[in-house]
Amino acid sequence: MIENIFSLTNLKLLGRGAAMTLLLASVGVTAGAIFGTVLAVVRTYPARAFRLMTPLVWLYVEIFRRTPLLILILLTYFGLALAKVEVSNVVVAIVAISITSIAYMCENVRAGIESLPRAQWDAGFALGMHGWQTLFYIILPQALRLAIPPSIGFMQSLIKDTSMATIIGIVELTHAGVILRYRFPLGSFYIFGAVMIAYFLICYPLSWAGDFAERRLRRE
């Protein structure tokens, strides 16, 4: 039975599923890194105009860090349909994953910015730098470096969370397993065991990268 389950066509299905998982996760992380940094800057930038937006960013982060991704995917799916926006399911999943990803990455970057002493800002101003110059040349280079290890950890959990895109019918790794299970109900254990190993092979090397980044940081 095992040879039948893991025939070439079925392995291709699993491979395509893994590719979709990686696509969802990488787009989610990229969106999170870009917009999360923007939100983190909005939340921490010491100017009065931004201080008004701080509670909004706080609310966004608090709400979406306390929402299960599964519910968010379903809400996006039906919300976009209600707004008469016709997009493919993959886009729906990417939107939902990005929304959570932005919230989490915002927290990572904010922690990085806030762990820097305030004197860093003052030093920039004392050198006659403009606020934005201080941000780009002094604060962000240090803060983003500090945010790398937690972000790698988050990337791992995001890869695992893409499994929830199964619910709107996207064929990623977990759903490929579910499809195979329809064909071989008795081989469920081997199928999901294989899916589990595939996730492990994707996620585990990232923790080496995380350890490496952390060691580099500590040496500095």
Partner 1 sequence: MQLYFRVILRNLPEFIRGASLTLYICTLAMLGGFIIGVLGALGRRSRRRLVWFLSTAYVNLFRNTPLLVQAYLFYFGLPSFGINLTSIQAGLLALTVNNGGYMTEIVRGGMNAIHRNEVDAALALGMSTRQMLQYVVIPHVFRLVYPPMVNQFVLLILGSSVLALIGMEELTFKARMIEAYTFRAFEVYLSTMLMYVILTVITTGILRIIGWRALRGEKSYLSAVVGKLFGRFGR
Q: Is 188 in the site for partner 1 (CB under 8 A)?
A: yes
Distance between CA atoms of residues 95 and 31, nearest Å: 9
Q: Would you count residue 4 as binding partner 1 (CB under 8 A)?
A: no
CB atoms within 10 A of CB 171: 19
Q: Segment contacting partner 1 (CB under 8 A): 73-81, 106-114, 124-132, 133-141?
A: 73-81
Q: What is the identity of the amino acid at 91? A: V
* CA–CA separation, 69 and 24 (whole Å): 13
Measured torsion, CA atoms of residues 50, 54, 55, 56, in degrees rounded to the nearest 10: 80
Residue 170 in the binding site for partner 1 (CB under 8 A): no
> At a CB cut-off of 8 Å and minimum separation 6, what does 1 contact?
184, 186, 187
Q: Applying CB under 8 A, which part among 11-19, 23-31, 38-46, 58-66 lies near partner 1? A: 58-66
Task: Indicate whether 78 belongs to the interface with partner 1 (CB under 8 A).
Answer: yes
Q: Is 163 in the site for partner 1 (CB under 8 A)?
A: yes
Its sign, for the CA torsion 54, 55, 59, 60, is: negative
CB contact burial 185-196 (16+ within 10 A = b; e otherwise): eebeeebeebbe
Which of the stretches 26-34, 43-51, 129-137, 176-184 binds partner 1 when contact is defined by CB under 8 A? 176-184
The single residue among 20, 166, 170, 210 that binds partner 1, judged by CB under 8 A, is: 166
CA distance 157 to 16: 20
Angle between helix 8-44 and helix 140-161 axes, rounded to 10 deg? 140
The nearest distance, CB 67 to partner 1, in angstroms, is: 5
Interface mask toward partner 1 for 121-160; x: CB under 8 A: -----------------------------------x---x
| Residue span binding partner 1 (CB under 8 A) among the ranges 38-46, 74-82, 110-118, 142-150 | 74-82
CB of 31 vs partner 1, minimal distance in Å: 20
- For 86, the token pair is 């016709």
Region from 47-55, 128-136, 198-206, 211-219 binding partner 1, contact rule CB under 8 A: 198-206
Residues forming the site for partner 1 (CB under 8 A): 62-63, 66-72, 74-75, 78-79, 82-83, 156, 160-161, 163-164, 166-167, 174, 177-178, 181, 185-193, 195-196, 199-200, 203-204, 207
